[in-house]
Amino acid sequence: MKKLFIFLIPVILFVFSIISGFVIHQSTWFVQDKHFVKLAQSFLRGDLYLSPLNLPAGDFADYRGRQYLFFGPTPSVILMPFVAIFGENFPQMFLSFASIIITFVTIFLLCKKLSFKNLDAFWLAIFFEFGTVLYFVSLVNISAYLVQATAMVFVVLSLLEYFTRRRWFIIGILVALAGTTRVTLFGLSVFFLLELLKTLKTPQFKKQFLLFAIPILIAVAFLGSYNYRRFSSFIDTGYTRNVTVVNKEGGNQDAGFFSLVHMPGNIYSEFLMAPDPVKDPRFEFLLRFPYLKVNGLGLAIWFTSPLFLYLIRAKRKLYSYNAIIGVLILAIPSLIYFGIGGTQFGYRYSLDFLPLLFLILLSAFEKGLPKVAKFLIAGGVVFNCCYMLSIWNSYPLFFWMK
């Protein structure tokens, strides 16, 4: 009976997460982004610009009277066969839903490879998918979020490949796909390059290095050509031409698109920002249900993913220092970027370095997951599902309290 109870708890948490995700997704009906579907249509026509017909209101670049998508092209390339068959009504959220499944299974297999038992691997996969900001970006049909959910698949698959068969050409392809989905993820190559340097004195090093580097270099060259065709510049992705930003007065971009002055705000959003109280306006300070509201500018990682508190107990592994360097490299672009990432639940740019941070975290559980860790996972998942839409004053899981 005790063993059944031990397995029952994570199964209930998993089912709760899936049902909650369905409710949350249905509650975001007001978001109807289709940027990647439209770009897939353009690719099928042999064009690189978006058709202005039914174009979403923002998140595109305007250049010389034409509209371009400044996100990486890989999601649209994946969608091309589906759009060719089903047309423009094919939902781009297909990529997000597929990413939930693939990421969950990949993390489970990765934890198994790193010597975790089935039950603990299941708990950790629940944490990674449902107990972080990843679940939020996977459920809401905003194109900027879909990029991160899709890119996560390539990142976790690259880590699984590294810790299993370690085929450097495959790892290089996966890093290339991550980078052509979200350009900052080319920084992931630093972690793998540092790991590869451990084999510097072996006869296979040069071959392995070339196998790893060639797909990434091809991807960088491809993106450069893609940018040049659109903006007459190899390095201009179109981000600085974002109409959502250009038409906004007094925004952070006035202090520079990339600047050290943005670091305090991003660090505060990532590590210090707490939920706001929901106050009864009739009184000076009396809270009313549902008591908390998350600020759309961010929320500290300790609220969305309290399991990361166990980082203080992380052990030194062969890959630890390289993973820390990788986290820093991947975090820098977001920390100096003018856009906090809003409107968002949590600090969604942390998804760039989340897999490496998770890798470091795993070292804290050499003897298995303690009960406190499982409690933190469950608490984080429930909190996220209940409050992620509070950034829009929506609490769909609390409908029964009305």
pLDDT tens sequence across 290-341 = 999 999 999 999 999 999 999 999 999 999 999 999 999 999 999 998 888 7
- In this structure, are residues 166 and 115 in contact, taking their beta carbons and an 8 Å threshold? no
Q: What is the mean pLDDT of residues 7-36?
A: 91
What is the rounded CA–CA span in Å between residue 170 and residue 164? 12
Question: What pLDDT is stored for residue 1 in this prediction?
Answer: 60
Q: What is the mean pLDDT of residues 67-89?
A: 95
What is the rounded CA–CA span in Å between residue 11 and residue 119? 10
Q: What are residue 46's DSSP bridge partners?
A: none
Q: Determine how many CB atoms are found less than 10 A away from the CB of residue 281.
A: 6
Helix (H/G/I), strand (E/B), else coil: 258: strand
Is residue 400 very low, low, confident or very high in pLDDT (cuts 50, 70, 90)? low
What is the rounded CA–CA span in Å between residue 143 and residue 163? 31
Q: At residue 154, what is the residue type? A: F
**pTM for the full predicted model:** 0.95
Is residue 248 very low, low, confident or very high in pLDDT (cuts 50, 70, 90)? low
Q: Which of 96-100, 134-138, 164-168, 237-241 has the lowest mean pLDDT?
A: 237-241
Q: What is the mean pLDDT of residues 70-94?
A: 95
Q: What is the mean pLDDT of residues 178-184?
A: 97
Tokens encoding 285: 């300070």
What is the rounded CA–CA span in Å between residue 114 and residue 17? 25
- In this structure, are residues 43 and 76 in contact, taking their beta carbons and an 8 Å threshold? yes
Helix (H/G/I), strand (E/B), else coil: 192: helix
- In this structure, are residues 141 and 94 in contact, taking their beta carbons and an 8 Å threshold? no
What is the rounded CA–CA span in Å between residue 223 and residue 220? 5
Q: What is the mean pLDDT of residues 108-121?
A: 97
Q: Where are the alpha helices (DSSP H) in 55-187?
A: 74-86, 93-113, 118-130, 134-139, 143-163, 168-179
Question: What pLDDT is stored for residue 97 in this prediction?
Answer: 96
pLDDT digits (tens, 9 = 90+) for 185-241: 999 999 999 999 998 889 999 999 999 999 999 999 999 999 999 999 999 888 888
Question: What pLDDT is stored for residue 319 in this prediction?
Answer: 93
